[in-house]
Amino acid sequence: MKYTSLILALNMSACGSAPSGNPAATATATTVASKDPEKAAAKDTAITAQDSKDKSDTLSLAVNSIKDLPACDAAHLGQLASIVSNKTFYTCDTTNNWTQVDVKGSDGSNGKDGISVSTTDEPAGANCASGGQKVQSFADANQNGVLDSGETTYGKAKYVCTGASGTAGAAGAAGSAGAAGASGATGAAGTAGTNGNDNHIATTYTCDGSTTTSTFYDTLTPIRSRYKVQVTSYGDAFALGYVYWNDNAIAGASNQASWSQTTYQTYAKNDASNATSPISVIFNQKPGTSSGVWTYTLNRGAATATATYFDTDMTPNSVSWTLACTVANY
């Protein structure tokens, strides 16, 4: 309030006659259009002394920039505003515009110390939830423009707070794929690995046989079978079982046909069945409700194989015989 009275006094001095020998006092005004011209008051409204007294708490205000000025209406008529960012002053006049007040005149006598305004960053907290600026008026005793310890402050500090962060917007659409990058340089050659095992066929056992044993369903039908086991240099075993039946071998047979069945099995070196390398071939010798199974096992030391045929449609259910094997080493 005192600050406003000082400016009005300067205006009055400028409008009076200038002392002899001093240049005439001049006053210039820059008009800022009101933010809300539709709320215009009567152009000839005058501020009376009683109005000034009634509005003693609203005759002056401080804002950071011109764009922060409120609408110049009846509520702000005659009010003086300080623009903190550029240290200028504006008054709300009867044309409903904020007009800059620029007083120029002869030097007067030193006045009383003025009131300075300090603006400092305000961290987020009780005064400003999202932080902002603290504004404090004070008497700048050492004229350094800074509110120092021990300098007198006036009134409570005001705060210009930063607004809260808005809700995050939706994610944008994915951009198009970028161009492929250039090929990188060829890497250095790796260390050569150790030589692997030369795992080849080292020994082959071939065990062939045929039977017309009377225990079979058709004693005239020759059944030929082959059982072969190949052992690698590393010790793995590969077994093959083959059973073949041929009607063509029967003299005068009316049904000239043949059937065969083959089965394979591999045994690793450390497999418990590696030595005997058993294999089973499903091939029915006697028609009935169940299928016949031919099973072969190897005796490497004797170079022989045991062949067994099992079928629950026979009596007895199984018959076995020995096959001689030829051995080839590589």
pLDDT tens digits along 147-193: 888 888 888 889 999 998 889 999 999 999 999 999 999 999 999 88
State yes or no: pLDDT of 46 exceeds 70.
Answer: no
CATH code of the domain made up of 201-329: 2.40.128
At 133 the pLDDT is: 94
CA angle 154, 158, 161 (to 5 degrees): 165
Q: How far is CA 142 from CA 113, 137, 154, 218, in A?
A: 10, 15, 16, 131
Rounded Cα–Cα distance for residues 280 and 119 (Å) = 97
E strands, 48-110, in order: 60-63, 80-83, 88-92, 97-104
Q: Give span(s): CATH 2.40.128, the chain.
A: 201-329
pTM for this entry: 0.39
How far is Cα 91 from Cα 79, in angstroms, rounded to an integer? Answer: 6
